[in-house]
Structure 1
Amino acid sequence: MRLTVFGAAEQVTGSMHLLELDHYKILIDCGLDYERDTRLEDNEYFPFDPAEIDVVILTHAHIDHSGNLPTLVRMGFEGQILCTPPTADLAELLLLDSASIFAGKERKPVKRHKNAYKPKLLYLQKHVMDTVERFVTIGFNKPFRLNGQAELTFYSVGHLLGAAAAVIKVSGHGPDRTIAFTGDIGRENYPTLTDPSLLPPVDYLVCESTYGGRKHNKTQNVEQVLVGTINESCVKNPGRLIIPAFSIGRTQALIYSLNKIFDQGLLPPVKVFVDSPLANYATEVYRKYQSLLSQDSQKFYREKGDEFEFENLTYVHNLKESKEISNYFEPCIIISSAGMLEGGRIQDHLYYNIQNYYCTILFIGYCAKGTLGNRLLRGDPIVRLRNRDLSVYATIKQTDTLSGHADHDDLMQFVSSQQAGNLKRIFLVHGEMNSLKSFSDALQAEGFNTTIAEKGVSYEL
Structure 2
Amino acid sequence: MKISFHGADREVTGSCHLLEADGKRILIDCGMYQGSRELDDENAGDFGFDPRSVDFLLLTHAHLDHCGRIPLLVKRGFTGEIIATAATRELARLVMLDAARLHEEEAERSERHAHRRGEKTRKPLYGTLDVLDTLDHFGRNAVYDEPLSLAPTLRATFYDAGHILGSASIRIEDTEGSGRSVVFSGDLGNRDRAILRDPQFPPPADVVVMETTYGDRSHKALAPSIEELYGAITDTFKRGGNVVIPTFAMERAQEILYYLREGIEQGRLPRSMPVYLDSPMAISATEVFRRHPDCFAEKDRAMFDEGKDPFTLPGLRFTRETADSMALNNLVGGAVIMAGSGMCTGGRIRHHLRHNLWRHDSSVIFVGYAGRGTLARILIDGAKHVNLFGDDVPVHARLYTINGFSAHADRDELLAWQRALRPKHTVLVHGDEEVMRSFATQLSDTEVHMPGIGDEILV
Question: What TM-score results when the alignment is normalised by the length of structure 1?
Answer: 0.93
Q: How does 1:137-216 map to 2 (within 5 A)?
A: 137-174=141-178, 176-216=179-219
Q: 8 Å contact 1:154–1:165 — kept in the other structure?
A: yes
Q: Distance in 2 between matches of 1:457 and 1:392?
A: 43
SS for the counterpart of 1:151 is strand
Match of residue 391 from structure 1 = 394
Q: Which residue identity does 1:459 align to in structure 2? A: I
Q: Match of 1:39, SS?
A: helix
* Alpha-carbon separation, structure 2, partners of 1:299 and 1:411: 29
| Aligned twin of 1:25 | 25
Q: Deviation of residue 173 (structure 1)?
A: 2.6
Q: Cα–Cα, structure 1 residues 54 and 304, in superposed 2: closer, same or farther, change >3 Å?
A: closer
Confirm or deny: 8 A CA contact 2:35 2:371 kept in the other structure: no
Match of 2:292 in 1: 289
Deviation at 1:41, TM superposition (A): 5.6
5+ residue gaps, structure 2, are none
Residue 258 of structure 1: aligned partner: 260
Contact 1:33 1:43 in 2 (8 A): no
426 and 31 in structure 1: CA distance in 2 versus 1, 3 angstrom threshold: same
Kept in 1, the 8 Å contact 2:9–2:430? The answer is: yes
Counterpart of 1:58? Answer: 59
1:157/1:195 contact within 8 Å kept:
yes
Quote the Cα distance in structure 2 between the aligned partners of 1:182 and 1:305: 33
Could you tell me which residue of structure 1 aligns to residue 50 of structure 2? 49
The one-character-per-residue Cα deviations of 1:17-51 (angstroms, maximum 9, x if unpaired) are: 11112321111111112365533464341211111
SS in structure 2 of the partner of residue 87 of structure 1: helix
Contact 1:215 1:407 in 2 (8 A): yes
Please, which runs of 5 or more residues in structure 1 have no aligned partner?
none
Residue 238 of structure 1: CA displacement? Answer: 2.7
Distance of aligned partners of 1:122 and 1:306 in 2 relative to their CA distance in 1, 3 Å threshold: same
Which of 257-266 and 50-59 deviates more?
Answer: 257-266
Within 5 Å, which residues of 2 pair with 1:344-363? 344-363=347-366
Which residue of 220, 242, 247 maps to 1:217? 220
Q: Which SS does the other structure have where 2:49 is aligned?
A: coil
Deviations 1:335-378 (A, max 9, x none): 11111112211111111111111101101112222222222112
| Preserved contact between residue 51 and residue 75 of structure 1 (Cα < 8 Å) | yes
Distance 1:82 1:298, change over 3 A: same
Query: Percent identical across equivalent pairs?
Result: 34
Distance across 2 between alignment mates of 1:172 and 1:410: 32
Encode CA deviations 1:64-88: one digit per residue, 9 max, x unaligned: 1111111111111101001100100
Q: Point out the more displaced range, 161-170 or 256-265.
A: 256-265
Letter in 2 for 1:147: A
Q: Is the contact made by 1:191 and 1:296 (CA closer than 8 Å) also made in structure 2? A: no
Written as runs of structure 1 = structure 2, the 5 A alignment for 1:34-433 is 34=34, 36=36, 38-40=39-41, 42-106=43-107, 119-136=122-139, 137-174=141-178, 176-218=179-221, 220-234=223-237, 236-269=238-271, 270-303=273-306, 305-419=308-422, 423-433=423-433
Equivalent pair of 2:172/2:182 in contact (CA under 8 Å)? yes
What is the alpha-carbon root mean square deviation over aligned residues? 1.9
Contact preservation (8 Å) 1:223, 1:258: no
Secondary structure at 1:442 match in 2: coil
Quickly say closer, same or farther: Cα 1:193–1:221, change in 2 above 3 A. Answer: farther
